[in-house]
Amino acid sequence: MELKSKSPAPTKKHGEKLQVLFRSNDVLMALNNHPEGLSIREIGHYVKLPRSTVRRILDTFEELNIVITSPSTNAYRLGPTLALYASNIRPFDIAKIARPTLMQLAGRTDESVYLCVMAHGMAVVVDLIPGVYPIHTVTTMGTSLPLHATACGKALLAALPEEELDSLRTQLKLVALTKNTITDWERLDRELETIRNQGFAIDLEEHQMGTIGIALPIMGPSREIGVISIPMPTERYHIIGEQLIQFLQHGTQNLRWQR
């Protein structure tokens, strides 16, 4: 008689582990959707979990630097460990192809130049050339930036196929980061259409007061989308902004994204 092997039935312990994993993911997604930070009470409200459960998850994450707390507000935010992970999620083809363009633009303008891609509902910096002039924001490889409030993020959104953008509309929270941040989808959709028509995006102090960014979407050989972005202090933008946009457009002609 032939014996048939059976897969072991899921155990209660296995189910509990899965439940912890799903709950932990819910906590991370809540923080991802609120980059300004959340308290334990606010996280519990979004994920529908008791305060004690949320605290246990956060305590573990904090030990691993997956989340960090602000000393002044005690609000939790995503931590540097996740930025480290994100820095390794990079479309190597587009990064290799775009690198000479980044170097050329940085050398010609003396400004900091970034390459960003979309990952986990954020614009992630996957390459950068530091500029001569200082800027207010401190950005490094792996930095995650909000899609709705930065030039690079809005350029990425504008380049998305409509079905992918529809999916994001139900997930992306348009949190006000400054008084200029776009916080409703009707206005953001109008902005994205303008970006598609003119070919570049501008962040008018929407992410941080005192800083303006310009960005332009590019396309790699496998149709992967990236964005080349130049941030600068507001006062310098008003002096050389139009010239930098022209440099950006001219320097990315061979990589230009097309609808």
pLDDT of residue 136: 66
**pLDDT tier at 14, thresholds 50, 70, 90:** low
Q: Can you tell me whether residue 73 is helix, strand or coil?
A: coil
Mean pLDDT of 17-26: 85
pLDDT of residue 1: 38
Annotated domain spans of the chain: 12-78, 86-255
Nearest to 192 by CA among 176, 211, 210, 174: 174
Mean pLDDT of 90-101: 75
Q: How many other β-carbons are positioned within 10 Å of the β-carbon of residue 2? A: 3
**pLDDT tier at 9, thresholds 50, 70, 90:** very low
**Residue that wins the pLDDT comparison between 104 and 133:** 104
What value, to the nearest 5°, has the Cα angle with vertex 46 and ends 41 and 47? 100
Nearest to 32 by CA among 122, 136, 126: 122
pLDDT of residue 115: 93
* H/E run at residue 103: helix 92-109
Q: Which is it for the CA torsion 162, 87, 133, 107, positive or negative? A: negative
* H/E run at residue 187: helix 185-198
Angle between helices 185-198 and 151-159 (to 10 degrees): 80
pLDDT of residue 137: 67
Mean pLDDT of 102-131: 89
pLDDT of residue 11: 55
pLDDT of residue 174: 93
Residue 87 has pLDDT above 70, yes or no: no
Fold of 86-255: Beta-Lactamase (3.30.450)
Q: Can you tell me whether residue 232 is helix, strand or coil?
A: strand
- Are 203 and 216 in contact by the 8 Å Cβ rule? The answer is no
Fold of 12-78: Arc Repressor Mutant, subunit A (1.10.10)
Residue 191 has pLDDT above 70, yes or no: yes
What is the pLDDT of the chain when averaged over all its residues?
85
Q: Which is it for strands 76-78 and 211-219: parallel, antiparallel or unpaired?
A: unpaired
- Are 175 and 181 in contact by the 8 Å Cβ rule? The answer is yes
Digit-coded pLDDT (tens) for 202-248: 999 999 999 999 999 998 777 788 999 999 999 999 999 999 999 88
The percent of residues in the chain predicted with pLDDT above 70, rounded, is 89
**Residue that wins the pLDDT comparison between 83 and 174:** 174
Q: List, as own/partner pairs, every contact residues 170-176 make where C-beta atoms lie below 8 angstroms and the sequence separation is at least 24, other chains included.
A: 171/33, 171/121, 172/33, 172/121, 172/147, 172/148, 173/33, 173/34, 174/148, 175/33, 175/34, 175/35, 175/36, 175/146, 175/148, 175/149
Mean pLDDT of 185-214: 94
Most confident of the following: 73-87, 191-205, 234-248: 191-205
Place of tokens 């912890």: 20
